[in-house]
């Protein structure tokens, strides 16, 4: 069995062990040996790029504010760590600049854009101001307009379109198909695909069909099962996004030693 070394990307940081999308989670991910971290980003009311998964703050902060309608200063009064444990009390919603500042040299930053194309220029400006190496960034989004605009404004930065899969009934095919995925990736002008890990859809033949259609680069999320990680490593995934970077790295390294 041939298993290549993949980029192990910490999903919202080391989010199994620390509160998601916080500096604590990102710092722990680096300590656990992640090759990169993935974070989710919105714009605050005053145009700051902030790291949070949901449109509102209620799930992680206990106080429900709409991110896009709230200024950064107020967002950063919220405690988004205590829900995960008392030792994380006081963790704040970080900005993209603060997330970048945690990254050791040579590590990757995976930026998921959660809004429309209006977020692209602010992100581009932050990356320019922080001088983070363009070759160590991958921008991802489910929003087709957003990811196409990201690639247009930042052609030197890798961009992946994200997709999950649905079926209308148990007897209907899963959509989008491999051909539809490939057509979308090419139409958007992006570098590759970020795919849900759904193994009943994302099979070896599915991935082979993508490659036949010219889509050779993909990453997969969110993979916490070592068996799934081994499968996608065998298929040549560019990266494996996981809540458990240390555990998944150890599982893949154990396989490589066999």
Is residue 20 assigned to a domain? yes
CATH code: domain of residue 212:
3.20.20.190
Q: Where in the sequence is the domain holding 165, given as residue range(s)? A: 7-257
**Which among 103, 97, 100 is positioned nearest to 76, based on CA atoms?**
97
Say if residue 183's pLDDT is above 90. Answer: yes
Is residue 81 assigned to a domain? yes
**pLDDT one-digit tens code per residue, 203-242:** 999 999 999 999 999 999 999 999 999 999 999 999 999 9
Say if residue 106's pLDDT is above 90. Answer: yes
**pLDDT one-digit tens code per residue, 24-83:** 999 999 999 999 999 999 999 999 999 999 999 999 999 999 999 999 999 999 999 999
DSSP code, position 59: H
Work out the average pLDDT over 3-24.
91
- Provide the pLDDT confidence category of residue 1 given band limits of 50, 70 and 90: very low
Is residue 2 assigned to a domain? no
Structurally, the chain folds into a number of domains equal to 1
Is residue 241 assigned to a domain? yes
pLDDT at residue 79 in the model: 98
pLDDT at residue 258 in the model: 56
Work out the average pLDDT over 164-176.
96
Is residue 135 assigned to a domain? yes
Rounded to whole angstroms, what are the CA distances from 17 to 25, 78, 159?
8, 20, 28
Is residue 1 assigned to a domain? no
Residues 6+ apart with CB under 8 A from 94: 21, 22, 23, 26, 50, 51
């Amino acid at each position: 069995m041939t298993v290549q070394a993949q980029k192990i990307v910490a999903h919202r940081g080391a989010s199994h062990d620390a509160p998601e999308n916080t500096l604590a989670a990102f710092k722990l991910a680096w300590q656990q040996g992640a090759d990169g971290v993935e974070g989710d980003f919105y714009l605050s009311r005053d145009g700051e790029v902030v790291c949070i998964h949901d449109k509102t703050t209620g799930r992680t902060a206990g106080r429900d504010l709409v991110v896009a309608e709230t200024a950064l200063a107020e967002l950063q009064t919220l405690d988004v760590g205590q829900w995960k444990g008392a030792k994380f009390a006081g963790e704040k919603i970080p900005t993209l600049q603060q997330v970048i500042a945690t990254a050791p040299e040579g590590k990757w930053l995976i930026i998921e854009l959660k809004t429309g194309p209006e977020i692209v220029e602010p992100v581009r400006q932050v990356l320019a101001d922080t001088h983070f190496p363009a070759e160590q960034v991958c921008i991802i989004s489910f929003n087709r307009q957003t990811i196409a605009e990201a690639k247009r404004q930042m052609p030197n930065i890798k961009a992946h379109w994200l997709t999950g899969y649905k079926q209308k009934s148990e007897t209907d095919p899963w959509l989008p198909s491999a051909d539809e995925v490939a057509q979308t990736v090419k139409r958007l002008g992006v570098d590759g695909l970020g795919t849900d890990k759904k193994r009943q859809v994302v099979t070896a033949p599915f991935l082979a069909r993508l490659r036949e259609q010219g889509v050779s680069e993909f990453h997969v999320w969110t993979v916490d099962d070592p068996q799934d990680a081994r499968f996608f490593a065998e298929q040549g995934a560019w990266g494996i996004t996981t809540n458990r970077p240390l555990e998944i790295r150890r599982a893949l390294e154990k396989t490589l030693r066999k």
